[in-house]
Amino acid sequence: MPMPTPVSTPTPARLDVARQLLDLLADTRTEPRPDDQLEALTLAVAADLPVLLWGEPGIGKTAALNQLAEALDLPLTTVIASVHEPSDFSGLPVVGDDPAQQGVPLAPPDWAVRLVRAGRGLLFLDELSTAPPAVQAALLRLVLERRIGALQLPPGVRIVAAANPRSSAADGWELSPPLANRFVHLQWVHDHEVVVRGLGGVWPVAPLPRLDPGELSAAVVFARRAVCELLTVRPELVHRLPTNETKRGGAWPSPRSWDMTLRLIAFATAAGSSREVLSLLVRGTVGDGPGLELMASLDRMDLPDPEQLLADPACAVLPERGDLRQVVLDGVVAAVRSRPERARWDAAWAVLVRALETGAPDLLVVPATTLASLRREGWEVPAAIEHLASTVALSRRADRAAVRVAARTDVTAGR
């Protein structure tokens, strides 16, 4: 009797098994996690300002753009700037039937036509720091005016670029000052904890900021006041082109970048963003020095008026931050010095007592000493001084002791 022929089970192809393994590796989940970098990027994109992400290769700049495009429901178009010719951004000349009568039009590339047809999108200009100067010059009109040849990109298109520092870029170039001054520069860094959790299968997803419709008008007023007050007292910051070539390729103050800063302050204010996010945006637009001055100016804008504190010291609400509290107390003493009156002098002591009850006593040494020196003949010492005297004396003794300890330490080290 013949034996039955065994039925063979088909063996999966080797690449099919590999695909199964790849699918398992891609099977990850997400968790909500705030991200100041991504929030700053989102606000700049919402404000319709070109953004340039600076960071070392492989730290997730492209991944952040993909996440942002998906969250904003915008089609992402990636263009590698360094592999294109200047004509790819300025427009390709096309000779028609009668150039003498019709001229030679500049035809846009296919990716620009697709963006116009879609009416919206996120244009990602990658490897910007490896684009030669001629290509950077051609990008000027695209970044500022959103024009490529005869084609105007629609308002729904946003522009984000990425660049590596020259030290880590292949055949890198410094950005030209005109091009650099058109961007909001954000330094992109990786978070060790995020990377470890992501490789473990849990990647973060950041909630995007939302603008409060009820705060729009107030946000505009606040932004205009913030920028104008700083530039009024610091007119030299209106335009300051760095002398260093590398710094010229980054953020620096100009009328254009201050206008961008004003817009970003309004958007961050309307979104209720944190001080850290606003600092990233401001410093990324006008540079670290002017940006930090503006942030300090913003802090002082919210400080209480010394005259209001003198009018009702019992209800004084002082800042919690030590540096801001010191500024307020110095302002109160300065107000008394400018118009020394007995009632104002007494009220200032009451404000200092209020500060002692709600904060660190070491902040009172200088303003209390200065206020005591403003005493006029016939002014009786208020009871508040007795309350503060022990604190001031103790703080002074502590300071003198610290100086003596430091001196002994220096002598011992010298031996």
What pLDDT sits at residue 167? 65
- Same domain membership, residue 53 and residue 157: yes
Angle of CA points 210, 214, 220, to nearest 5°: 85
Is 366 contained in some domain? Answer: yes
* Secondary structure letter of residue 174 according to DSSP: P
Is 223 contained in some domain? Answer: yes
Is 410 contained in some domain? Answer: yes
- Same domain membership, residue 294 and residue 280: yes
3-state SS string over 38-61? Answer: HHHHHHHHHCCCCEEEECCCCCCH
- State the amino acid at position 325 in one-letter form: R
Per-residue pLDDT, averaged over 154-164, amounts to: 92
**Tens digit of each residue's pLDDT (9 = 90 or more) over 351-365:** 988 888 887 777 888
CB count in 10 Å sphere of residue 395 = 18
Is 96 contained in some domain? Answer: no
Sequence-distant (6+) residues with CB within 8 A of 402 are: none
- CATH number of the domain within which 146 lies: 3.40.50.300
- Same domain membership, residue 54 and residue 188: yes
Which three-class secondary structure state does DSSP give residue 340?
A: coil
- Same domain membership, residue 67 and residue 136: yes
Axis-axis angle for helices 275-286, 36-46 (nearest 10): 60
Task: Say how far apart CA 20 and CA 331 lie, in whole Å.
Answer: 69
- Same domain membership, residue 146 and residue 36: yes
Q: Name beta bridge partners: 397.
A: none
Domain-terminating residue out of 174, 205, 236: 205
Cβ atoms of 148 and 107 closer than 8 Å? no
- Same domain membership, residue 349 and residue 323: yes
Residue-wise DSSP of 234-284: -GGGS----SSHHHHTS----HHHHHHHHHHHHHHHHHT--HHHHHHHHHH
- Same domain membership, residue 218 and residue 149: no
- Same domain membership, residue 253 and residue 358: no
Question: What is the domain count for the chain?
Answer: 3
**Tens digit of each residue's pLDDT (9 = 90 or more) over 167-191:** 665 566 788 899 999 999 999 988 8
- Same domain membership, residue 73 and residue 163: yes
CA dihedral over 309, 312, 316, 322, signed as positive or negative: positive
**Tens digit of each residue's pLDDT (9 = 90 or more) over 198-226:** 888 888 887 889 999 999 999 999 999 99
- Same domain membership, residue 151 and residue 72: yes
Task: Say how far apart CA 355 and CA 384 lie, in whole Å.
Answer: 12
Task: Say how far apart CA 130 and CA 163 lie, in whole Å.
Answer: 8
Cβ atoms of 47 and 269 closer than 8 Å? no
- Same domain membership, residue 220 and residue 199: no
Is 272 contained in some domain? Answer: yes
Is 170 contained in some domain? Answer: yes
Domain-terminating residue out of 180, 205, 230: 205
Range of the domain at 220: 213-301
Q: How far is CA 146 from CA 43, 50, 87, 251, in A?
A: 19, 10, 15, 21
Nearest to 184 by CA among 34, 77, 41: 41
Domain-terminating residue out of 252, 272, 301: 301
pLDDT exceeds cutoff 70 at 118: yes
Using alpha carbons only, how large is the chain's radius of gyration in Å? Answer: 31
pLDDT exceeds cutoff 80 at 194: yes
Task: Say how far apart CA 415 and CA 399 lie, in whole Å.
Answer: 25
- State the amino acid at position 96 in one-letter form: G
What pLDDT sits at residue 368? 85
- Same domain membership, residue 335 and residue 219: no
Is 246 contained in some domain? Answer: yes
Is 4 contained in some domain? Answer: no
Per-residue pLDDT, averaged over 252-275, amounts to: 96
- State the amino acid at position 352 in one-letter form: L
Computed over every residue of the chain, the mean pLDDT equals 84
Chain position carrying tokens 């010191």: 326
Q: How far is CA 217 from CA 213, 223, 278, in A?
A: 9, 10, 18
Task: Say how far apart CA 354 and CA 317 lie, in whole Å.
Answer: 9
Sequence-distant (6+) residues with CB within 8 A of 399 are: 365
